[in-house]
Homo-oligomer: A and B are copies of this chain.
Amino acid sequence: MNDFTAADVDGKRVLVLGGKGFLGTHLVDAFVRCDIPVRVFDRRARQSLDPALVDVVDSQNDVARTSNIEVVTGDFASGEGLADALDGVDLVYHLISTTVPSTSNANPIADVQGNLIGTLRLLEMMRDAGIRRIVYVSSGGTVYGNPSILPVPETHPLQPLCSYGVVKVAVENYLHMHAELYGLTSNVLRVANPYGTHQHHIGVQGIIPTFFKKIADGSLIEIWGDGSVVRDYIHVNDVVSALLRAGARDRSGTFNIGSGIGHSVNEILEIVQRYVGQQADVRYLPQRNFDVAQIYLDISKAQRELDWQPLLSLDAGCALYWQTIKQPARPRNAAGYMEPPQ
């Protein structure tokens, strides 16, 4: 269960699109820890490495790993640099999103231009280059819209209420089409709400790092709605183990990746207050119309077919997160990764 070694990659050359992002950094770490070389494609000036916006890197990253990482910079939306990144690759992890759910409705055309057309160009280039494997991170929290069954299975109708989710569904459909018509092996992970280090804590990506930071700093927390909104939170380590299992797979499939358990925003608040040891200063705002009330995922298909299991409960995951970010930050090398301890 969750096991992964270099043998699973079987000599395949791996490219991680968005390898300097939240999930990407952790996935690249995991490959490097298994002594698997990996190429990263990301933007030139990658904001997530700005210490003002992200947490310190956890201590597991303190391996001298840059020798096994090749970084290609470019622009996914325009395709610039992508051909170089794909050269000689066998397996592509597509973790790039140019938008986030909460703001995607403000400009759906930009969402389609950046994410959907960018992915269509990627698929065309992969097909031309004979690259036959992709793992795509879709969105367990948005593709279903307001679920009529809980926990929601993969077979639930897809009725997203934000452009971010509509575009994820369209990408999924194109991947399915390429799998059926052109022999692509495509594994789609509908990831719930992941949290962990390297996540922005400016409130767009995840509430857990945001709550830890704001409660520790004594600053105001603003919550849309009354805090009763329920989501499925999953620690990034558990997402990474699913990504590794999906990349080792020889068939195509679509999988919910979450904890399988729902927690309200107010429950998160309680857990975080307990670890930080301070009371939160909270203001409740009107609910947003695109926020679904309750969602958590039926993960039995991934457990069965990926031989995967989430290992960290919300409480254990928050404990790990808090323990990690309390450590002092280490200096970074030119590539933006941590230097090994002296």
Residues of A within 8 A of B (CB): 105, 108-109, 112-113, 116-117, 120-121, 124, 145, 155, 157-163, 165-167, 169-170, 173-174, 176-177, 180-181, 289-290
B181-A161 in contact (CB<8A): yes
Residues of B near A180 (CB, < 8 A) are 145, 161, 289
B162-A166 in contact (CB<8A): no
Residues of B near A173 (CB, < 8 A) are 158-160, 165-166, 169-170
Q: Chain B nearest CB: distance from A145 CB in Å?
A: 8
A181 to B108, CA, bound (A): 14
A157-B160 in contact (CB<8A): no
A109's nearest neighbour on chain B, judged by CB, is B120
A123's nearest neighbour on chain B, judged by CB, is B108
Contacts A116-B112, A117-B112; is A166 near B160 (CB within 8 Å)?
A: no
Residues of B near A167 (CB, < 8 A) are 170
B158-A155 in contact (CB<8A): no
A163 to B174, CA, bound (A): 7
Starting from the known contacts A109-B121, A116-B170, A161-B177, 20 additional A-B residue pairs (CB-CB under 8 Å) come to A105-B177, A108-B174, A109-B117, A112-B116, A112-B117, A112-B120, A145-B176, A155-B157, A157-B157, A158-B173, A159-B176, A160-B173, A160-B177, A162-B177, A163-B177, A166-B174, A169-B169, A169-B170, A177-B290, A181-B289
Pick the contact of A181: B121, B155, B176, B290 (CB < 8 A): B290
